[in-house]
Amino acid sequence: MTDVLRYTAFSTDPEGGNPAGVVLDAAGLTDAGMLAIAAEVGYSETAFVFPHDEPDSYHVRYYSPEVEVPFCGHATVATAVAMDHVGTLAFHTLSGEVVVDTDGRTATLTSVPTTSKPVGTEDLDRALGALGWGHDELDPRYPARWAFGGAWHLVLAAKTRERLADLDYDFDGLRDLLTRNEAVTAHLVFEREEDVFDARDPFPVGGVVEDAATGAAALAFGGYLRSIGRVPGPRTLTIHQGDDMGRPSVLSVDVRPDGDRVRVTGAAVPL
């Protein structure tokens, strides 16, 4: 029987964070077998670890209950902490190599190169229609974009916290839009104050209504800010996610103007 560990990431409290399954020895598992395990676990993602021929290096794959995703940040944090390792690890994912520094309680992920691109008018209209948002409810300082930090995400910024809090969306409509654009989640944000954001991440592509913490989206968001010229110097962002779900999560994001890789840090604890 496959041993599945259960951790929650981006929190030091088992009642907070985003739960993830971790299979530290996935050798011999098939794609169908991994998908079946992820569906049985029922978390937004389960990470599957395979051996690599270099020291402190591993192949890692990530499955939601319905699909494989190229990269998952919170499951990477959970996996690194579950390994009980102090030092640097290299996780070889479908998106490329992700370097992970861990002290055994927290992990810092360094993304693959980030990028972003504008959202077309038709796609934006469809996204807002699925969310039930109006164009006038968007924060004009933050243009709608597709952002990548290991996986693609739709970034939309709400003008008010109330708009972000009132999330009741068309599951099938948003899933279809994200799938057509090879995106994983919609990363919905509100600027609470300078360098502090609230976020929510619908994940219908994976069969999940909402993620309580989305490290991959946080990495993409850091790259997005750089691409729109909002990183004049090194910035450390604090992203609060999961509050509206009753699972508070805190993600720390480091982004620099002179590099396209972003770092996100978070804790993880067993469930």
Q: Are residues 125 and 84 in the same domain?
A: no
Residues paired with residue 59 on neighbouring β-strands, in sequence order: 50, 92
SS3 44: coil
Q: Are 18 and 9 in contact (CB under 8 A)?
A: yes
Last residue of a domain, one of 106, 133, 148: 106
Last residue of a domain, one of 106, 127, 162: 106
**In the structure encoding, which two tokens stand for residue 209, read together?**
């209504």
**In the structure encoding, which two tokens stand for residue 141, read together?**
């300082």
- Nearest alpha-carbon partner for 92 in 48, 124, 129: 48
| pLDDT score at 1 | 64
Q: How many helices (H) and strands (E) does the chain have?
A: 6, 17
- Residues 162-173: pLDDT tens digits? 999 999 999 999
Q: Provide the domain limits for residue 141.
A: 115-270
Q: Are residues 70 and 170 in the same domain?
A: no
SS3 35: helix
Rounded to 5°, angle at Cα 145 from 143 and 162: 60
Last residue of a domain, one of 106, 128, 151: 106
Q: Are residues 169 and 137 in the same domain?
A: yes
| pLDDT score at 2 | 86
Question: What is the rounded distance in angstroms from the CA atom of residue 247 to the CA atom of residue 200?
Answer: 12
Q: Are residues 139 and 54 in the same domain?
A: no
Q: Are residues 248 and 171 in the same domain?
A: yes
Q: Residues in the chain with pLDDT < 50?
A: none
Q: Are residues 119 and 70 in the same domain?
A: no
Q: Are residues 190 and 126 in the same domain?
A: yes
Looking at residue 45, which CATH number applies to its domain? 3.10.310.10
Residues contacting 135, CB < 8 A, separation 6+: 128
Question: What is the rounded distance in angstroms from the CA atom of residue 24 to the CA atom of residue 157?
Answer: 37
pTM: 0.97
Question: What is the rounded distance in angstroms from the CA atom of residue 7 to the CA atom of residue 114?
Answer: 27
Q: Are residues 139 and 263 in the same domain?
A: yes
The tally of domains found in the chain comes to 2
Q: Are residues 154 and 213 in the same domain?
A: yes
| pLDDT score at 122 | 98
